[in-house]
Amino acid sequence: MSGHNKWSTIKHKKAAADSKRGKIFSRLSKELTLATKIGGKEADTNPRLRTAISAAKSANMPNDNIDRAIKKGAGELGGQALEELNYEGYAPGGVAVIVDCLSDNRNRTAADIRNIFTKANATLATTGSVAWMFKRKTRFVIEGAMADEDALMELCFEADIDIDAINIDEGVAEVIAPPEVFDKLVEVFEAGGVAPTESGLVRVPENEVEVNDLSTAKQILRLVDNLEDYDDVQEVYDNSIIDDDTLAALESDD
């Protein structure tokens, strides 16, 4: 159940880069909003919202920002009701992309997402043409003293929770599990004094496309960055695996 996972490592490195670029509050706000929309605004009865609030506070997100994101998800800020939208497509190199959105204007969001894809030399695809390549999973990211494989395994074992993997990289633990155990893992981690810095339901690619061309890698990352910068976008997933040499070249350009 454990081991090195390139997808996990790259996603974590990207998350760290996003944080440095000031994107972390935006990502946390979106998770707070979505968690509230799905499970309601009462944290006591909404495990996903509880973990989102905990992650936001650990990142020193102001309480006003947290409250505003929750009110948005609860529909208390006026405007049209929020709707979950999903878009599928292909980035350069045949890389599959899924974009999860939360929007109050379906037509505007669809047009804007299409424009972002077009400018990145990418194409939108029909519903279902890409989604089958990904599986829904529970994901927790844990940092600090509790980012310990044995300790986390023991917690899960004692609670009789089946998990898919615990990946450890540079002092950061990533727990991947079936989607149906999310709430139970929240309770286990809370009882064990584990405070995840990230949590949620994600899409994990089952088949990956290796990218070893620098130009293609740059186009893919530019597409993902532009999508993530768009306000209606909750999450962006792709099945690219950038090889070590190309990844090193990308990092040297930063």
pTM: 0.82
- Write the pLDDT tens digit of every residue in 34-71: 899 999 999 999 999 998 998 888 888 899 999 999 99
Residue 4 has pLDDT above 80, yes or no: no
Domain coordinates in residue numbering, the chain: 83-132+206-253
Minimal CA–CA distance to 178: which of 216, 137, 144, 218? Answer: 137
Six-digit token pair at 239? Answer: 């099945």
Which CATH number fits the domain 83-132+206-253, given the four candidates 3.90.950.20, 3.20.20.140, 3.80.10.10, 3.30.70.980? 3.30.70.980
Scored b (16 or more CB within 10 A) or e, 168-202 reads bbeebbbbbbeeebbebbbebbeebebbbbbbbbb
- Write the pLDDT tens digit of every residue in 180-224: 999 999 999 999 999 888 888 889 999 899 999 999 999 999 999
The DSSP annotation for 176-207 comes to: EE-GGGHHHHHHHHHHTT---SEEEEEEEESS
Residue 167's identity, in one-letter code, is: N
DSSP classification of residue 128: T
Cα separation, 133 vs 209, whole angstroms: 11
